[in-house]
Structure 1
Amino acid sequence: MSVAPKASTPAWPTPPKGGWTADDLDRLPNLPPHTELIDGSLVFVSPQTAFHERTVDFFKWHLQSLAPADFEVFREFTIDIDRQNRPEPDIIVLRAEAWEESRQTRFPADAVVLAVEVVSDDSVSRDRETKPVKYARAKIPHYWRVEDENGRAAVHAFELEPTTGAYTSVGIFRDRMKVDVPFPVDLNLAEIKTRPAKR
């Protein structure tokens, strides 16, 4: 007597008609860490490189140390753009009043003044094309995209142009990054090291 094999359970949740919503990210069980919602679809993060890890650490530490008291800096925290978009920038700087309680899982996009993305192999088109459009539409005033140029950081800085509602470039920084907004920042990008110095 043969027994039909049992149907396997899908490894990931099947999206409902119309796609997932921002609220679903807090309700779906067993999602991998740092899952994002882009256009109603779940986006899973691939294993990160040493460059990505060190660069995110660098910006989190320096921005936190330089930010005025009325700003907060968070690493890998989702923001609500709309019902179908809840991305997770690598770093966000936001107005401090948006942090309401310790169990908070997301922040409203209109509280964010700077979003920083460190580009990975699997995020190139999202970080260069998809996310900047969404961040601009959410009126986030500043967007920095950090690229890996042979192990050295190149920061592409953008500012929202109010008459067009789109980002405009304010510079590409490789060795030193000095800007006045959203608050004064003077960074030595050469400090981002992806491996120990040889002795």
Structure 2
Amino acid sequence: MTESSLPDWAFPPPEGFVAEDLDRIPQLPAHTELIDGSLVFVSSQASFHTRAADLLVPALRRAAPADLRARREMSVVLGKQQRPEPDMSVIRASAEHSPEQTYYRAEDVVLAVEVISPDSERRDRDRKPTLYAEAGIAHFWLVENQSGRPAVYVYELDPVARSYVLTGIHHDRLKISAPFDIDIDLTEIDKL
């Protein structure tokens, strides 16, 4: 038997990985997610993805009430084998415990935002929204590239069905009142 040159984490345990493993596995690539007990590696992001986040995060920070914070690329523990990393999230300020913190808990997340990427389109559209809804995250946005401009699909949780309901599709301006008053000129992405 020859010794493998692959790291130990290349071989998942029979029962799959758990959320805590992301903090314990050495040399794990940055922004690795855990979905259904499997490690998911993120590829390089396109310019649109970065610009959409650069537009939305500062706008969310300006609009958020004092007890909320907008964050970028922090994982969220949704369950034992679920720890995705939304592109952006709005969390309760009380969820901040230390500068070394690597994740938030689902109950601390008010809004999860995914910007669709070609390599993760199915996860962004299907699996992640299902996981966020099942975990009780009240608001979810899906951001899609439409000719270089964001189209923001806004969803709200139906607490009985534990699934999201589309409440609007926003192209040039995102103006909504939940989870708080937000007014974002989406055409500003042209200046980024």
Q: TM-score range by the shorter chain?
A: over 0.9
Q: Any runs of at least 4 consecutive aligned residues in structure 1 with deviations exceeding 2 A, and if so which? A: none
Number of the residue aligned with 2:108: 111
Q: 1 CA distance for matches of 2:164 and 2:181?
A: 20
Deviation at 1:57, TM superposition (A): 1.2
Q: 1 CA distance for matches of 2:45 and 2:191?
A: 12
Where does structure 2 lack aligned partners over 5 or more consecutive residues? none
**Aligned ranges 1:38-187 → 2 under 5 Å:** 38-187=35-184
Residue 22 of structure 1 pairs with residue 5 of structure 2: no
CA-based RMSD of the aligned residues comes to 1.5
Using the size of structure 2 for normalisation, the TM-score is 0.95
Using the size of structure 1 for normalisation, the TM-score is 0.92
Looking at CA atoms only, which structure, 1 or 2, has the larger radius of gyration? 1
Deviations along 1:103-132, one digit per CA (max 9) or x if unpaired, are 111111111000000000011110110001
Number of the residue aligned with 2:5: 9
Amino acid paired to 1:143: F
Amino acid paired to 1:9: S
Q: 2 CA distance for matches of 1:150 and 1:29?
A: 40
Q: 1 CA distance for matches of 2:28 and 2:56?
A: 26
Higher percent of residues as helix: 2
Give 3-state SS (helix, strand or coil) of 2:190's partner: coil
Task: State, as a whole percentage, how many aligned pairs show the same letter.
Answer: 49
- Alignment length, in residue pairs? 191
Q: 2 CA distance for matches of 1:53 and 1:67?
A: 21
